[in-house]
Chain A
Amino acid sequence: MARTRSSITIVGASLAGLWAAETLRREGFEGRISLVGDEAHAPYDRPPLSKKYLAGSVGRERVDLLTPGKAVELGLDLRLGCRATGLDADTHTLEVDGTTESFDGLVVATGTRCRTLPGTSGVAGVHVLRTVEDADAIAAALSSAGRDGARRVVVVGAGFIGAEVASTAVDTGAEVTMVEALDEPFGRVLGVEMGAVLADLHRGHGVELRTGVGVDEVLADGPEGERRVAGLRLVDGSELDCDLVVVGIGVVPNVEWLDDSGLTVDDGVVCDETCLAAPDVVAAGDVARWTNPRYGESMRVEHWDNAVQQGAHAARRLLVADEEAEPFAPVPWFWSDQYDRKLQLAGRIRSEDEVRVVTGSTAEHRFAAFYGSGGRFTAVLGMNRPRHLMQAKTLLDDDASWDEALALATAWE
């Protein structure tokens, strides 16, 4: 039996929140949908912020996800620039900008925010990249319109946001150094071997990679109140001069507003397999931690595709009775565009996995590689191999074995 509700509030007006709203309407929900977001903007798409939007090759209209017309069509009560500051899951009440309101159903989609380097607040020229304002500030600093554009850029953290910013900065003619505290760049996400292939791509474009060395201190010039970055000192004592620092050292979930809410918070909002965090409360997107039954593991996934799929799943969860609820069991998948290469990874790599290049060549940066162990096929990485990647992802979705995966690869050759 489907549930009857008259109002659903979605906290977080970004990709997962918007997908939740759209899904509610597609599924026939006719009640009030309130979409609350603390940013001043209607939902927008973040992947272009480190790539085409940052490079200036697409404008703001290509980043916006919700036109005014679509908001009307969806019948959304769009409340932008409004911050949820408290929740009581038991009484189904929410505090927004200090005012208490009630809901019948709630989607928590408050996302994450970037970690920052200590001692950098108030220092001009040090940025993180999460919001459109962050992207505008970095784009302005990189602007090569005159000689004032940042020519020496340091990216702190060899992760995907940092790698995309590095690639965009290189294209503006900047000298780019990437600093990574771990020995193996990209190793955590891609494994050591494939991480090295991606590092090689960056080096081939002139990026200097400093690995196994963290940042000790940001060096700034100028009087108090007008301090501007001049360089970085690394923990080995070496110094890097620079005009612009972009920090990509991970994110933290936005959960502080849920203190004393009755929800369980542990590096994200803890949900069951169906994305339910408490009766009538679901979570989706970067902020949600749930047990993915496909892997039997608790996970929190920060990919674009997860925000889409989980936003939709969480919305449907609110519309069905408990006994009809389905688990959320996706194969995680993401893409990253760097230089003229498209990286795609589907699946979940395990440390014991062997990795095998099954088509193409890593030296040419055009290949697909399979990961697996114990007869299991766990992940596929593609560099400029979207067709192969999606065919392999279909096998991952079907829990295919390593031998079945290799049979697919044999058919490619």
Chain B
Amino acid sequence: MRVVVDYDLCESNAICMQIAPEVFEVRDDDFLYVLDESPGEDLRAALEESVQRCPKQAISLKD
């Protein structure tokens, strides 16, 4: 599973960071960083929720 962020869409609302802090981090420069682009299956549910709840639909998961 690979996490892909479309940075043209991302507005750094940081909802993903609250749901999956192991993978997403918005830093002091206000940009989103993906900490782990290929996270383990144990995080799938949290990542799917991040995909769904992103207000800009900026996150996708590729298998």
- Closest CB of chain B to A338's CB: distance in Å? 13
- The answer to whether A387 and B11 touch (CB under 8 A), given A304-B55, A342-B30, A393-B18, is no
B38 within 8 A of A: no
Cβ–Cβ < 8 Å partners of A22 in chain B: 52
A335 vs B25: C-alpha distance when bound (angstroms): 18
Q: What is the predominant secondary structure among interface residues of chain A facing chain B?
A: helix
A173 vs B9: C-alpha distance when bound (angstroms): 25
Q: A342-B11, A344-B14, A387-B17 are in contact. List 11 more A-B contacts (CB 8 A).
A: A22-B52, A45-B55, A62-B9, A335-B13, A337-B11, A386-B13, A390-B14, A390-B15, A390-B18, A391-B18, A394-B18
Closest-by-CB residue of B relative to A304 is B55
How many B residues touch A, CB cutoff 8 Å?
16
> Is the Cβ of B53 less than 8 Å from the Cβ of A308?
yes
> Is the Cβ of A386 less than 8 Å from the Cβ of B12?
yes
> Is the Cβ of B53 less than 8 Å from the Cβ of A344?
no
- Closest CB of chain B to A387's CB: distance in Å? 5
CB 8 Å contact bits of B1-20 with A (1 = contact, 0 = none):
00000000101111101100
User: CB within 8 Å of A: which residues of B?
Assistant: 9, 11-15, 17-18, 25-28, 30, 52-53, 55
> Is the Cβ of B28 less than 8 Å from the Cβ of A387?
yes
Q: How many A-B residue pairs have CB under 8 A?
A: 39
A22 vs B18: C-alpha distance when bound (angstroms): 22
9 A-B pairs closest in CB distance: A386-B14, A390-B18, A390-B14, A387-B26, A386-B26, A386-B12, A390-B17, A335-B13, A394-B18
- Closest CB of chain A to B49's CB: distance in Å? 10
- Closest CB of chain B to A234's CB: distance in Å? 36
Cβ–Cβ < 8 Å partners of B9 in chain A: 62
A47 within 8 A of B: yes
CB 8 Å contact bits of A350-390 with B (1 = contact, 0 = none):
00000000000000000000000000000000001011011
A114 vs B25: C-alpha distance when bound (angstroms): 37
Cβ–Cβ < 8 Å partners of A342 in chain B: 11-13, 30
A47 vs B53: C-alpha distance when bound (angstroms): 14
Q: What are 29 A-B interface contacts by the 8 Å CB criterion?
A: A22-B52, A45-B55, A47-B55, A62-B9, A305-B15, A305-B55, A335-B13, A335-B55, A337-B11, A342-B11, A342-B13, A342-B30, A344-B13, A384-B30, A386-B13, A386-B14, A386-B26, A386-B30, A387-B14, A387-B17, A387-B25, A387-B26, A387-B27, A387-B28, A389-B14, A390-B15, A390-B17, A390-B18, A393-B18
